[in-house]
Structure 1
Amino acid sequence: MDRNDTSAIADGVRQLYAGWGKGVGIAEMRRQWEHFVAPKRVTIATEDVEANGVRCRWVRASGCDTRHAILFLHGGGYQIGSVDSHHNLMAALSAASGCAVLGVDYRLAPEHRFPAAVDDVLAAWQWLASQGFAPGQVAVCGDSAGGALGIALMTILRDKSLPLPACAVAMSPWADLEAHGDSFRSNAEHDPVTQREVLLVMARTYLGRSGDPRDPLASVVHANLSRLPPLLVQVGSNEVLLDDARQLAARAQEQGCAVTLSEWDGMFHVFQLFTGRLRQADAAITEAGAFLRTHLHPRDTDRISR
C-alpha cells in the first residue's frame, strides 16, 4: 500500500463494517478491529502490567527515557479498541517522543458502562504516581474516546487539587456525545470511520438509559477546562468530529488553556492509527512527539536517553 493512499484504507474500513451484521457479536467486532488496524505489529519492547487492577502495557522504543511516561488512552467509542489495536500507534509515539508509553486497557461497554472507563484511567494514573513518576514527568495522550478520557482525567485531578500532567495530546477527540457539530452533516460523505448515527448509538450504550450525555466527564465540551496544562488537539479536515475538536480547543482557549489546534487536510477520523501505512499519520505522530518533548523536557528537548 502506498503510504499516501487514504482511499485504500477507507475502502478497507467500509468493507469491515459491511460484515458487522446482527450475527456478529461485540467480541468478534473487537477482534476484527484489532486485526484491521494493526495487521502486522511493529517489533518493540513491551511489558504487560496490572495498574491498581487495570490491565496496562508498557511500550518502550529503543533508547527512550524511562524517567518520563505518556499515559495513552485508546479510542473506539468506549466499546472497541485496546492496547493491541493501538500497538503501532503507541510504538510510533514512544519513538517520536523519546518516552515510555503506558497504554491503558480500561473496561469497555456494554459490559462496563460510564464511569467505569474514567475510574480505570484515574486508577492507572495513581499507579504511575506509586511507581515514582512525578506528575511533571508524565503526559496524557488519547485518540477519539481516549482523547476525551484524557481531558476528563485532568479535570478530576484539578478539582481534587492534585498535580496535573505536564501536557496532553487529544487526537480526534470525541468531545460531545450529543453530536451537535455541523461537521456531522458536512463531512458525512468524507469520513469512512464513523458517522453521527453510529456515535449516538455508542453514546447510549456507554452511558446507559439513565446516563446524561452532558455529564462533563463524558462530554468534555461541557467541562470546566480552566487551569489545564498545555494541550495539542489534532483532527482531520474530513472528520465528522471536526467540530468536536474545534469546539473543545476554542473552549479551552477561552478558559485560559494554552492550546494548539492542528487540522490535517483530507484526513478522516483517527487517521493516526494507520501509522506506517499513511504518510500523514506518521507526520501527525511526529508533531505530537515534538510537542510532548517540548513540555516533558523543557530544558533539553533533544535528550532522549539517560
Structure 2
Amino acid sequence: MDPSVRSRMISNALRLGVHPFMDRIPGHAGSIRTARSTVDAASWLIRHTQRVQVRPLRDPGVESGEPPVTGEWVVGRDAEAAPGAILYLHGGGYVLCSPRTHRPITARLTLETNLPVLVPRYRLAPEHPFPAPLEDAVAAYRWLLARGVPPSGIVLAGDSAGGHLAAALTGEICRTGLPSPAGLVLFSPWVDLTCELSTKADARDPYISARSARRVARLVVGPDGFDDPRVALLTCAWTDTPPVLIQVGGAEVLRPEAEALADALTAAGADCELQVWNGQMHVFQILNRVLPEASAAMRDTARFITAVTAPARSEAAA
C-alpha cells in the first residue's frame, strides 16, 4: 500500500527542514547538551490525551541495592487493574529525550492494551555511557518483579535507541537467569551501533542519517567500545527469547538493521514478526494521532501485546 498523502507531506517537510540539521549536529558533549535542552523544552508543549493519567515514580533503590528507579507511570483513567505492565524505553540516541517526549506512544499503548506503562528515566550519554542505561533498565524490570507483576504479563518495548536498549535488556535477562517477559516490541530499533549496516543503506531517510548516528554512537559506548557483547545485538545467542514484534519504516536508514535482527532472532528459533511499513519514516508511530499508518501500527502492536499476555490475564481471571 502506498503511503498516505499526509504521510508524504510530513516526510517531505522533515526531509527539507529537519534532516539537514540532524545531519550536521556535531558529535561532542556540548552540542548534545544544547540539543537536549531544546528537546526537553519542546516536550512541555506536547499534550497527552486526557484519557490517561501520568504519575511520577521515584524509588531510591536503597533497600535493593539497585540503581534508583525514576520515571513515570502512564495509565488509562478508566482502566481496571490488569495483571501485567509494559516497560517502555524511550528513544533519542541514548543522549536525548525523556518519558515526557514519548507520551504520544505510551498513552496510546495503555489505552489500546489496558496495561499500565512504566517509562523509566534512564541515564543518558555522554555523561553516563553504556552500560549505565542497561543497568537502569534492569533495575526497572527487577522493580516490577519485586512488586508482584508476573513476568508472563510484562512486555518490553522501545523505539530507536530505546529499541536497542529493550533488546539488550532481553538479552541480559536471559544471561542472568531472570524470569523471561511475555514479549518484546521494537519500533525502528537502532540495532547496530557501529552503523556499518545503515551506512550501506540506499534510503532517503527524511529524518536521520547514518553519518550523524555514528557520531553519536561514539559518545554512547563505554570503555569496552563496540566490542561490549551487550552492545552487539547481532551476535547475541538469543536463546529462550520471548515472541518479538519489530516495526520499521520502509524509507528509513535503519531498515537493514531491523531486518538483520529479525533474521538473527528467527535463526535462533525465536518467534519474530517483522513489519516493514512502506514509505514510513523513523519511529512514525509517535505520530499516531495524525498519521493513519501510525494508528494502524499501534493497533497491530496492541494485538501482539494482548496475545502474548493472554496467559497472565487468563490466570488472573481464574
Q: TM-score, normalised by structure 1?
A: 0.89
Measured at CA, do residues 299 and 217 of structure 1 come closer, stay the same or move farther in structure 2, by a change above 3 Å? closer
Residue 283 of structure 2 aligns with which residue? 270
Q: Between Structure 1 and Structure 2, which shows a larger proportion of helix residues?
A: 2
CA contact (8 A) 1:97 1:288 kept: no
Match of 1:15 among 14, 17, 21: 17
- Quick check: 1:98–1:293 contact (8 Å CA) kept in 2? no
| Aligned partners of 1:183 and 1:243 also within 8 Å | no
Alpha carbons 1:230, 1:259 under 8 Å: kept: yes
Contact 2:122 2:133 in 1 (8 A): yes
CA distance 1:13–1:26, change in 2 (3 Å):
farther
Tell me what 2:127 maps to.
Answer: 111
Structure 1 Cα separation of the partners of residues 127 and 198 of structure 2: 32
Partner Cα distance (1:292, 1:228) in 2: 15
2:39 corresponding residue in structure 1: 33
Partner of 1:282: 295
Q: 1:39-64, CA deviations, whole angstroms, 9 ceiling, x for partnerless residues?
A: 33322211111243131210012325
CA contact (8 A) 1:49 1:58 kept: yes
1:235 matched residue in structure 2? 248
Aligned to 1:195: 209
1:244 Cα offset (Å): 0.6
* Structure 1 residue 66: Cα displacement: 3.4
Query: Is residue 232–residue 259 contact of structure 1 (8 Å, CA) maintained in 2?
Result: yes
SS in 2 for 1:33: helix
Does the 8 A contact of 1:136 with 1:164 survive in 2?
yes
1:177 and 1:200 in contact (8 A); partners too: yes
Counterpart Cα distance in 1 of 2:12 and 2:54: 30
Check conservation: 1:64, 1:100, Cα contact below 8 A.
Answer: no
Over 3 Å counting, the alpha-carbon distance change for 1:72 and 1:299 in structure 2 is closer
**Which residue of 27, 39, 42 maps to 2:49?**
42
Q: Which moved further from structure 2: 226-235 or 175-184?
A: 175-184
Work out whether residues 55 and 73 of structure 2, in 8 Å CA contact, stay in contact via their aligned partners in 1. yes
1:3 Cα deviation (Å)? 8.4
Instruction: Note if 1:291 corresponds to 2:299.
Output: no
Q: For 2:119 and 2:276, how far apart are their aligned partners in 1?
A: 25
Name stretches of at least 5 consecutive residues in structure 2 with no aligned partner.
62-67
Give how far 1:147 is off.
1.0
Name the residue aligned to 1:146. 162
- Going from structure 1 to structure 2, the CA distance change for 1:246 and 1:12 (only over 3 Å counts) comes to closer
Match of 2:174 in 1: 158
Say if 1:239 and 1:267, in contact at 8 Å, map to a contact too: yes
Instruction: Give the whole-Å Cα distance in 1 for the aligned partners of 2:290 and 2:5.
Output: 5
On the 8 A contact 1:229/1:257 being kept in 2, the answer is: yes
Question: Shift in Å at residue 30 of structure 1?
Answer: 2.4
Task: Say whether residues 1:58 and 2:92 are aligned partners.
Answer: no
More displaced, 15-24 or 242-251?
15-24
C-alpha change, 1:260 and 1:88, in structure 2 (3 Å) is same
* Contact 1:71 1:141 (8 Å CA) reproduced: yes
Q: Distance in 2 between matches of 1:278 and 1:228?
A: 32
Tell whether the 8 Å contact from 1:177 to 1:214 is kept in structure 2 after alignment. no
Q: Secondary structure at the match of 1:260?
A: strand
What's the TM-score, normalizing by structure 2?
A: 0.86
Alignment CA distance shift 1:280-1:73 (3 Å): same
Structure 1 unaligned spans of 5+: none
CA RMSD of aligned residues (A): 2.8
Matched length: 300
Which position in structure 1 is the counterpart of 2:65?
none
